[in-house]
A and B are shown apart, each in its own frame.
Chain A
Amino acid sequence: MAVTRMRMLLVEDERKVADFVARGLREERFAVDVAYDGTVGWEMASRRQYDLIILDLMLPGINGTEVLRRLHQQGSTAAVLVLTARDGINDKVENFEAGADDYLTKPFAFEELLMRVRALLRRPPTNRGSTLRVADLEVDRLTQQVRRAGKRIELTPKEFALLEYLAAHAGQVLSRTMIVEHVWDESFENLTNIVDVYVRHLRSKVDDPFPIKLIRTVRGAGYSVGEDKGP
C-alpha cells in the first residue's frame, strides 16, 4: 500500500455507526478524524485539508446538506461521500447538486463503504490491467477468457461477469446484495439466492477440478475470492 496515508473526516452523530466505520477504516490504514455533530464537523473540515469527508445528512447543529453547501462555496477539494438513511430521489438530486460525490444508504455493508471510499480516492486496490490474477487463476477482461493452471475454462457471460467482479476485489468479502447490484441490477435486490446458484455453477467449473479452492463463502457476509488464509 502507498506510503502517504489518506486522511479522512467522518461526520456522523450516531456514535456506534461512527465507531465501527472509523475502526474499520483505521484497520484499512486510513487516518480518520471523527466529528459527532455538524457544527464540529464543519469546523474541522474548514480547518484542515481532507482527502475525503464521509458525511451523515441528519446531523445536530448544522445539517449535512448545509455542510456540503459550505464546503462547495469554500472550494474544498475533498471528495464527499454522503451517508444517510434517506433515499428519496429528491434527496439524492439535492445532495449531488450541493456537491456530494457519492451516496450510500443505511443500512450498508462496511465492505461496500470501503469500496466506494477507495473508488473516490482513486486508489483502486486491485489490478486495473486487462488480466486479473488470483493464485493460478487468470481472468482476461479483454478476451473474456478464463484460465486456471493454464487450462481454459468456459463460462457463460453471467458467470464471467460474476467471476470478474469477485476477482477484481480479491481478498474482499462481497455481500450478495453488492454482487446482485453489480452483476445484475437493483430489480434483483430481493433475489439473492440467484447469487448462490451462480456461485455454485462457477465453483463447479473453477474450483471443483482443482485441489485448492479459491471461492470462499463467508457465512452471513457473502463471498470472496482468494487463497484461503485459514488454518
Chain B
Amino acid sequence: MNTRSLRFQLIGWYAGLLFGLFGLLGVSTYWALRTSLAGSLKENQLRRARQIGQLLREEVGRQDEGIVGREVQARYAPDLNDRFVRIAGRDGGLVYLSPSPKSQSFDPAALPPPKWSEEAEGAREVPLLGGRRMLLAGHPVKMPGGNLYLVEVGAPMDEVQADLRHWLVFLLAMLPIVAATAVGGGYVLVERALAPVDRISCSAERISSQNLSERLPVPHTGDELERLSVALNHMIERLDAAFQHSRRFVADASHELRTPLTIVRGELESFVTNDQLRAEWRERLGSALEEVDRLASIVEGLFAISRLDAGEAASEWVTFDLAQLAASTADQMGLLAEDKRIQVICTGVRGVWVEGDRARMKQVVVNLLDNAIKYTPEGGAVSLKVEAEDGRAILEVADNGVGIPPEALPRVFERFFRVDKARSRGQGGAGLGLSIVKSICAAHHGRVEVSSEPGRGSRFRVELPRVRPSASHDPSQDKP
C-alpha cells in the first residue's frame, strides 16, 4: 500500500481524528463517573461518622468510653455491613475499633493510623491487599472538656471499582466498532471524493505527444475538480500549440531548404559529369556534391520525422507478417554484413502479424540492422529475432559490438545524437536513423527500447500491437 498517497493519508487523518475523539470521550466519562461514585460513597461515610460523633458527644461525659463502642457495635454492626469504624482519642487511646468483617475483606488492625486534623472533616483513600482500595472518612469530635476524638468510617471501594471496570470494558468493546466505522467511513468518503481525480489522471495519462489534440472530459459539477480538468485542458492546449509550432517549424524549414538544395545539386552535377573539366576539379566538386547529398538526406529525414510526429496518414495501412518482413530485409542486407564478415542470425517464427505501413516498418528493420552492422567490428555477430508475446509483436536486433555507454543510452533516440561524434560521422549518416525508428514505432502505436553493455553489445527491442492475419494478405510483396 502506498502510504504517501492522498487516499491513505486522508483515511489516516479521518480515522485518527475519530479515534482521538472517542479516546477523549472515554477518558472524560471515566473520570466523571469515578468522581461521582467516589463522591457519593464519601458522603455516606461522612454522614455515618457524624452520627457516630453525635453519639460520642452524648455518651461520653455521662459514662465511660467503653459504652460508646458497644453502642456503635449494636447500632451499626460494622463487621456485618463490611464497614470499618474506628474511634481514637487524641491522647492515643483507642476508644473503639470495629472487629474484622465477616467477609474478611480487610483487616481493621492493619489499616494506617488515624490522620489527625483539628477542625475539618475529610476523606482519603487507603490501599488494601490485592489492589483494592478503601475510602476512609474522618470526622473530628471536640468535647466540651477539651478532649479530642477522631471518628473514622471506612468502606471498601469494590463497588465503585467494579462499576468503573464495567465502563472500561464497555469502552474497550466499542473500540473495534469505532475503528471499523472510522476506517470504513473514511474509505467511502475518500473514495467518493477522489474517484473523479482518478478518472482525470487516467485520461491525462493517455495523452502523449502523439494525441495532444485530445482533451480531458470535464465534469460539469462546478466544483474544484471541474476547475482542475479545465486547467489541465488549458495546459494541454498550450502544449499542443507548442508542439505544433515546433513541428511546423521543422517541416517548413526542411521544405524551404529543398529548392536551394536542388539548385546547388543541379549546378554541381553539371560540372561533375562534364568530361571537359579537369579531373581534379571534378573530384573537388564531387566532394561538394557528396555533402549536398548528405544535407539533402538530413532534410528528408527531418521532414519525414516531422510528418510522422504530426500523425499524418500513412500512404498504405495493411496487415503484414513482421517476421517475414524482417527475414527478407535481412536477406537484402546480407552483403552489407558479409562485407564486414558479420554473421546475421535470423530467428523467430513466421506469422507475427502487425498492422501498418509496410515500407516504413521495413525502414525500422533497415535502420536497426544498419546500425547494428555499423557498430559491430569485423567478425562479429548480429541477431534479428521476431516473436509474439501476449498481444504484442516483438522485433529484437542485438549485436556484440561496441555497445553504448550508460550515460548515452537515454539519448540515442534523439535527433542528431551521436555516441561518438568523430567516428560515426566518418561512417556517414546524419544521426537521424534511430529517431526515425522511434517516430515510426510511435506512429504504429508501438515503442522501441534499447539496452546495452559497453564493449559487449546493444539490443534494440521494438514492440508493436499484434493483430489477426487479414485474408487479403499477399506474401509476394517483397522483392527477392
Which residues of A approach B to under 8 Å, CB–CB? 14, 16-17, 20-21, 23-24, 85-86, 88-89, 105-111, 157-158, 173, 175-177, 184-194, 197-198, 201, 218-221, 229-230
> In the bound complex, how far is the Cα of B430 from the Cα of A54, in angstroms?
32
Selected from A111, A187, A197, the residue in CB contact (under 8 A) with B359 is: A187
Interface membership of B429, Cβ < 8 A? yes
Bound form: Cα–Cα A141–B26 in Å: 103
Which segment, of B168-176, B328-336, B378-386, faces chain A? B328-336
Chain B contacts of A190 at CB under 8 A? 297, 301, 367, 429-430, 432-433
- With a cutoff of 8 Å between Cβ atoms, the chain B residues found around residue A189 in the complex are 297, 300, 363
Partner of A221, one of B269, B299, B335, B370: B269
Q: Which residues of A are found within 8 Å of B268, using beta-carbon distances?
A: 220
State the CA gap A198–B292 with chains docked (Å). 23
Residue of A89, A173, A201, A219 near B335 (CB, 8 A) is A201
Could you tell me the distance in whole angstroms from the C-beta of B459 to the nearest C-beta in chain A?
21
**Chain B nearest CB, measured from A96 CB (Å):** 13
Interface size class of B (residues with CB under 8 A): 35 or more
Bound CA–CA A16/B296 (angstroms): 18
Q: Which residues of B contact A186 (CB under 8 A)?
A: 359
> B336 contacts A194, CB within 8 Å?
yes
Cα–Cα, bound, A191→B339 (Å): 14
Contact yes or no, B265 A191, CB < 8 A? no
Q: How far is the CA of A87 from the CA of B99 in the complex (A)?
A: 119
CB contact under 8 A between A185 and B312, given known A110-B269, A194-B336, A198-B335: no
Residues of A contacting B336 in the complex (Cβ-Cβ under 8 angstroms): 191, 193-194, 197
Q: Which residues of B contact A16 (CB under 8 A)?
A: 263, 267
Which B residues form the contact surface with A (CB < 8 A)? 255, 258-259, 261-263, 265-270, 272-273, 275, 279, 282-283, 285-290, 292-293, 296-297, 299-301, 307, 312-313, 315, 329, 332-333, 335-336, 339, 359-360, 362-363, 365-367, 370, 428-430, 432-433, 479-480
**Contact A20–B270 (Cβ < 8 Å):** yes
Q: Is the Cβ of B332 less than 8 Å from the Cβ of A184?
A: yes
List 8 interface pairs A-B (beta carbons < 8 Å), by A numbering. A14-B263, A105-B258, A173-B269, A175-B293, A185-B362, A186-B359, A190-B433, A221-B272
Selected contact of A219 from candidates B283, B307, B365, CB within 8 Å? B283
Q: A17-B262, A107-B262 are in contact. List 15 more A-B contacts (CB 8 A).
A: A17-B259, A107-B299, A109-B269, A173-B273, A177-B293, A185-B359, A189-B363, A192-B293, A198-B335, A218-B286, A219-B283, A220-B286, A220-B289, A221-B269, A230-B275
B293 touches A197 (CB 8 A): no
* Chain B residues with CB under 8 A of A108: 262, 265
Question: Could you tell me if A24 and B266 are in contact, using CB atoms closer than 8 angstroms?
Answer: yes
Bound CA span A105–B258, Å: 9
Structural contact, A106 and B259, CB atoms closer than 8 A? yes
A88 and B297 contact, CB distance less than 8 A: no
- Name the residue among B255, B258, B360, B430 with the largest chain A CB count within 10 angstroms: B258
Closest Cβ neighbor of A15 among chain B residues: B263
Distance in angstroms from B428 CB to nearest chain A CB is: 6
Measured in the bound complex, the distance between the Cα atoms of B339 and A198 in whole Å is: 10
Instruction: Find out whether the CB atom of A88 lies under 8 angstroms from the CB atom of B312.
Output: yes
User: Which A residue's beta carbon lies closest to that of B340?
Assistant: A197
Chain A, residue nearest B339 (CB):
A197
A194 in contact with B312 (CB, 8 Å): no
Interface of B is mostly: helix
- Tell me whether B286 and A221 are in contact (CB under 8 A): yes
Q: Which residue of B lies closest to A104 (CB)?
A: B262
Q: How far is the CB of B266 from chain A (nearest CB, A)?
A: 4
Given A20-B263, A185-B479, check contact A220 B287 (CB 8 Å): yes
Give complex CA distance A157, B267 in Å.
Answer: 35
Q: How far is the CA of A177 from the CA of B269 in the complex (A)?
A: 14
Task: Give A105 to B299 CA distance when docked, in angstroms.
Answer: 13
A219→B293 CA distance, assembly (Å): 12
Please name the residue on chain A nearest to B256 by beta carbon.
A85
User: Which residues in A have their C-beta under 8 angstroms from that of B313?
Assistant: 89
- For residue B270, give the distance in angstroms from its CB to the closest CB of chain A: 6
9 tightest Cβ-Cβ pairs between the two chains A and B: A219-B286, A220-B289, A220-B286, A107-B261, A107-B262, A20-B266, A187-B362, A85-B258, A106-B258
- Chain A residues with CB below 8 A from B429, complex form: 190
Tell me which residues across on chain A come within 8 A of B262, comparing CB atoms: 14, 17, 106-108
Alpha-carbon separation in the docked complex, A218 to B275 (Å): 11
A110 and B266 contacting across the interface, CB-CB below 8 Å: yes
- B369's nearest neighbour on chain A, judged by CB, is A191
State the Cβ distance, B48 to closest chain A Cβ, in Å. 110
B293 CB contact (under 8 Å) in A89, A194, A198, A220: A220
**With contact pairs A190-B367, A190-B429, A191-B366 given, residues A109 and B332 touching in the complex (Cβ less than 8 Å):** no
Q: Which residues of A contact B289 (CB under 8 A)?
A: 219-221
In angstroms, Cα B262 to Cα A20, docked, is 10
For B359, give the chain A residue with the smallest CB separation: A187
Measured in the bound complex, the distance between the Cα atoms of B330 and A194 in whole Å is 13
Task: Closest A residue to B432 by CB, please name it.
Answer: A190
Chain A residues with CB under 8 A of B367: 190
Complex contacts, B315 vs chain A, CB 8 Å: 89
A87 to chain B, nearest CB (A): 8
CA distance A107 to B293 in the complex (A): 9
Contact of B480 among A24, A89, A157 (CB under 8 A): A157
Give Cα distance in the complex from A106 to B275, angstroms: 26
In Å, the complex CA distance between A157 and B266 comes to 33
Q: For residue A197, which residue of chain B has the nearest CB?
A: B339
Q: How far is the CB of A198 from chain B (nearest CB, A)?
A: 6
A23 shortest CB reach to chain B, Å = 7
A177 (CB) vs chain B CBs: closest residue: B293
